[in-house]
Amino acid sequence: QVQLKESGPGLVQPSQTLSLTCTVSGFSLTSNSVHWVRQPPGKGLEWVGAIWSGGSTDYNSALKSRLSISRDTSKSQVFLKMNSLQTEDTAIYFCTRNYGSYWGQGVMVTVSS
């Protein structure tokens, strides 16, 4: 059964670094891509970036300078790190397999002092 679950701190202070983990099961990270998508409260969806089956990454150019996506295949985990957080980064962060039919439940991240 394919599952994805995001985890991380609910509250981050401005200018600090966000670290999120997407723990997956039911599929291999070496055969599938994992994407991150975020959604500010009450607003639409924004593609954040992806790590592909071969380990390469692609990022939204608007976030690229602050963003890093990596993985640990032995633990079936994908990591998102974003630095210099601002209030505009407050959002629900989702991870999704192949940007398709399987999504995690999302994790709410609030940037506030």
* DSSP state at residue 16: S
Cα dist. 45→38, 53, 73, 107 in Å?
Answer: 6, 23, 27, 14
Nearer to another protein, 11 or 45 (CB): 45
Nearer to another protein, 79 or 103 (CB): 103
Nearer to another protein, 85 or 93 (CB): 93
68 forms beta bridges with 81
69 forms beta bridges with 80
| Residue ranges in contact with another protein by CB under 8 A | 37, 44-47, 58-62, 94, 96, 99-101, 103-106
Minimum Å distance from CB 50 to another protein? Answer: 8
Minimum Å distance from CB 53 to another protein? Answer: 15
Minimum Å distance from CB 13 to another protein? Answer: 27
Nearer to another protein, 31 or 101 (CB): 101
b/e for 49-81, b at 16 or more Cβ within 10 A?
A: bbbbeeeeeebeeebeebbebebeeeebbbbbe
